[in-house]
Structure 1
Amino acid sequence: MLKISRLSSTRDVKDFISLPTKIYKDHPLWVPPFRHEIKAIMKGKGSNLFSNGPHEFFLARENGSVVGRIAVGIEQAMNREKGVDHAYFTLFESIDSKIVADALLKTAESWAKNMGMKFIKGPVSPTNGDDFRGLLVDNFEDPPAILMPYNPPYYIDIFKEYKVYLKYLAFRYNLENVISEREIKGTEIAMRRYNFYVEEANFKHIKNLARDIHKITVESMPEWEEDIIKPTFDEIFQAARTLKLVADSRMVIIARSEGRPIGYFVAFPDFSPIVREIGGKLFPFGWYKFLTKRKTIERVRAAILFVVPEFRNRGVPSAMFVKAYKNVREMGYKIIEGSSVSWMNSTMIANALRAGGEEYKHYIVFGKNLIKRPLSLREIYGYAADRFSSKERVLV
């Protein structure tokens, strides 16, 4: 007997959090999230997604055994910003059973319909980051980078009735392939011609760094950017404090023109092999392994790059990347993963390929119409609808 029910007890919460351990027991590349962080997220701490509107958590049980989970909700702030009536689903997991998966998705769809929503999308991330955003649809052989999604290959078949809503790309750079002198000279020429320079972040003055990052982000984030709204200073400040703990200042590059911050690049060590080894448990002994094995890490994840509009075609992204590339190479790392890049960001994709990046992974956020009539592009993509006029990218 299959039963789908809302979480209603401490035991339910525990079962919800523990289920992935069962799902991924035969998937050695999976990186478990930190359990204490998932508990906090489910309580709404550190999750704008759950803080910004109604949501529910559901469990699937079959003959008393937990076999699936899903969270569904409405991010009202995002809907107002984008002018849409969207619901989302997140934290989806299911055993290899179409019956179980369909029951969970139908439950989420029914909840969304009852709330008056026209469209449901997912998986999205409760942290508004990349960690749960999208379904990995290819290359299950290479391990996931830190804070990037990973799922069993059979998940792809679960979403046959859904359409592609958004797509994200990951690029791989081999640090043994030295950046060409032509690329280096090109960035030097660009810096002189357009009067800017790049420098490593100053972690000693974290509040000033947060102000610079916030200013760049607010100026740089395009209105068409899908499912992202501009962060507050407090959100950036908290992120900067966390970044100080996990990154090295040599991996965080700031671009300036006459002192004005015009761009930033953020990378950090890929701790995923260590997190995998400690099973997502920092306490009581995980911290020791985490700290003592940092020097064994070989990969860096380049996660964020923003440039203010008037400097986007002036070599700023390349200059920041070259600076970071040199630094991480000198630090002994071997690989950089650049992730994730929106399929609509043609400039970033071109920059990645020009810098020698190999497009090697893809992630999809799926979507489904919840009403009987076809939805317009405006109802699906909001104010960014004009960016999705190409037939290859239209979700119908």
Structure 2
Amino acid sequence: MQLIQVTNKKLIHAFHQLPYSIYKHDKNWIAPLRMMIEDIFNPEKNNTLKKGKASRWVAYKEGKPVGRIAAFHSSNYAHQFDQPTGGVGFFECIDEQEVADALFNVAKKWLTAEGMEAMDGPINIGENFFHWGLLVDGFIPQTFGMNYNPAYYHKLWNNYGFKTYYQQFSYNLDITSPDLPERFWKIAAWTAKKPGYTFENFTFRNQETYIRDFIDIYDQAWSKHDNYKPIDPQDLRDMISQSKLILEEEFIWFVYKEGVPIGFFMMIPDANQLIKYFPSGKMNLLKLIRLYYLKRRKVINRCRVIVMGVIPKFQKSGIESAIFYQLRQVLLRKDWYNEMELSWVGDFNPKMISIFEAVGGKKTITHQTLRYLFDREKEFKRSAIIED
């Protein structure tokens, strides 16, 4: 077996082509757009890489590619834990433990040389909105940005020695359904109309204001939890720029109390419902025009909630339900959207889980974020629960 570091165009092509052999008989897999994955490894497109480093490898056996992996670290992730922690992701592998072990070993060796003492995976080089977690339940076509993998991957990771750091739950909701809990919506409507509160949806024109408000709320809501890492405004600018074709301004909401930002909600259309029409994963001008045409034809009927936050002072005031109330009015108007995925919420966040269940969400998918400590004698600790 050979493990070759990706250093040229030929190996980049092999890195992107390998999943097609893994999923050739799996109808649930939707090939991601190659340019979006490649941008993750480009410091000019991925601001996180300016604060860290990444490497990737392709495994060959008898001359054929049989696996791949990426390893990475960044200053805003590595040093928030008991030990410097890097990450591994974009893992694909045939059902052979020998190959998987070789991939994990090369990543571990590289991360060790970079000063890391543990690795989390499968995760992304950047925000945890996208490409985060190992799918262990709910093997259905995933929404845009959600990881999909064969069921046997869980065995490969566990046999190597990875342990569950936290579980990630995704919920399905038809927000326009008349069967949703009536009491919830009554409280939501009452809260939304309370004096002093204002609700605004995002606009591209004023994106700098909303980026600033997003970071302000995010820092207050998450800074005391061990999954917190500061967000660079440029990361949000990059995400908005790269997603502008599919973003809906009315899917992103902010809440203000007497003009002060106190909460946000961000949802995106499920672009995978468009991307599935481009199975090669490659884009050109004509394909981009067709993608835009399909969007105009309202092919997308599903959306995905990717992040929600309320500052601690207002977390028991019903603001979360009031945001859902605003969003419900939008979806009743844009009635071609009839399915919402609330993804994902960690098992360390019981309050948000209770909100998703109170609004009528049904748990449909489970991912896991795994951790491997290089010192095998060190005590393993799961992610801390967020206390009220």
Q: What TM-score, normalized by structure 2, do the two folds share?
A: 0.90
Question: What residue is the counterpart of 1:218 in the other structure?
Answer: 219
Paired residue for 1:255? 255
The residue type equivalent to 2:206 in the other structure is: H
Structure 1 residue identity aligned to 2:249:
S
Call closer, same or farther: CA 1:235–1:87 in 2, change over 3 Å.
Answer: closer
2: CA distance, partners of 1:358 / 1:253: 23
8 Å contact kept, 2:45–2:238 = no
- Would the alpha carbon gap of residues 200 and 6 (structure 1) be closer, same or farther in structure 2, given more than 3 Å must change? closer
Q: What residue number does 1:128 align with?
A: 127
Q: CA deviation at 1:242?
A: 4.6
The alpha-carbon deviation at position 7 of structure 1 amounts to 2.3
Which aligned pairs between 1:96-135 and structure 2 lie closer than 5 A? 96-135=95-134
d(CA) in 2 for partners of 1:206, 1:314: 27
Secondary structure of 2:171's counterpart equals strand
Aligned-residue offset at 1:288: 2.4
Gaps of 5+ in 2: none
In 2, the alpha carbon distance for the partners of 1:372 and 1:83 equals: 14
Q: For the residues of structure 2 that align with 1:156 and 1:149, how far apart are their CA atoms?
A: 13
Structure 1 residues 96 and 45: CA distance shift in structure 2, 3 A: farther
The 3-state SS of whatever aligns with 1:348 is helix
Give the equivalent residue in structure 2 for 1:164: 164
Q: Is the 8 A contact 1:48 1:128 kept in 2?
A: no
Letter in 1 for 2:142: P
Give, in whole Å, the separation in 1 of the partners of 2:108 and 2:125.
Answer: 18
Higher helix share: 1
| Selected match of 2:314 from 308, 311, 326 | 311
What is the CA deviation profile of residues 265-319 of structure 1, one whole-angstrom value per residue up to 9, with x for unaligned ones? 1112112121011123331432122112220211111111111111111011111
Written as runs of structure 1 = structure 2, the 5 A alignment for 1:363-378 is 363-375=367-379, 377=381
Q: Alpha-carbon deviations, 1:28-55, whole Å to 9, x = none?
A: 2222222122223223333355433343
Aligned pairs, number? 380
Gaps of 5+ in 1: 390-396
How far off its partner does 1:139 sit? Answer: 1.3
- Superposed CA deviations along residues 181-205 of structure 1, whole A, max 9, x for unmatched, are 4323212333455732323333332
- More displaced, 168-177 or 231-240? 231-240
- Code of the residue aligned with 2:315 in structure 1: it is R
| Structure 1 equivalent of residue 325 of structure 2 | 322
Tell me the percent identity.
Answer: 24
Output the CA distance in 1 between the equivalents of 2:64 and 2:361: 44
Matched, 1:273 2:273: yes
- What is the 5 A alignment of 1:223-234? 223-226=224-227, 228-234=228-234
CA deviation string 1:250-271 (max 9, x = no partner): 2122211112221111112112
- Distance (whole Å) between structure 2 residues aligned to residue 376 and residue 388 of structure 1: 18
Which residue number corresponds to residue 357 of structure 2?
A: 353
Residues 199 and 128 of structure 1: is their aligned pair in 2 closer, same or farther, counting only changes over 3 Å?
closer
SS of the counterpart of 1:247? coil
Opposite residue 353 of structure 1, the aligned amino acid is E
Q: Would you say the 8 A contact 1:278–1:289 is kept in 2?
A: no
| 1:57 counterpart residue number | 56
CA distance in 2, matches of 1:25, 1:344: 36
Contact 2:70/2:91 (<8 A) preserved: yes
> Normalised by the size of structure 1, how large is the TM-score?
0.88
CA distance in structure 1 between the partners assigned to 2:6 and 2:69 by the alignment: 10
| Partner Cα distance (1:221, 1:388) in 2 | 9
- 1:114 shift after superposition: 4.1
| CA distance in structure 1 between the aligned counterparts of 2:235 and 2:15, rounded to whole angstroms | 27
Assess, with a 3 A threshold, how the Cα gap between structure 1 residues 232 and 328 changes in structure 2: closer, same or farther: same
Structure 2 letter corresponding to 1:203? F
Q: Please identify, of 296-305 and 79-88, the stretch whose mean Cα deviation from structure 2 is larger.
A: 79-88
Question: Which residue identity is paired with 2:215?
Answer: H
Asked if 2 retains the 8 angstrom alpha-carbon contact of 1:197 and 1:256, the reply is: yes
Name the Cα RMSD after superposition: 2.4
Listed one character per residue, the Cα deviations across residues 116-137 of structure 1 (whole Å, up to 9, x for unaligned) are 4332221111242333211110
Distance in 2, matches of 1:57 and 1:3, equals 13
Q: Higher mean Cα deviation, 182-191 or 292-301? A: 182-191
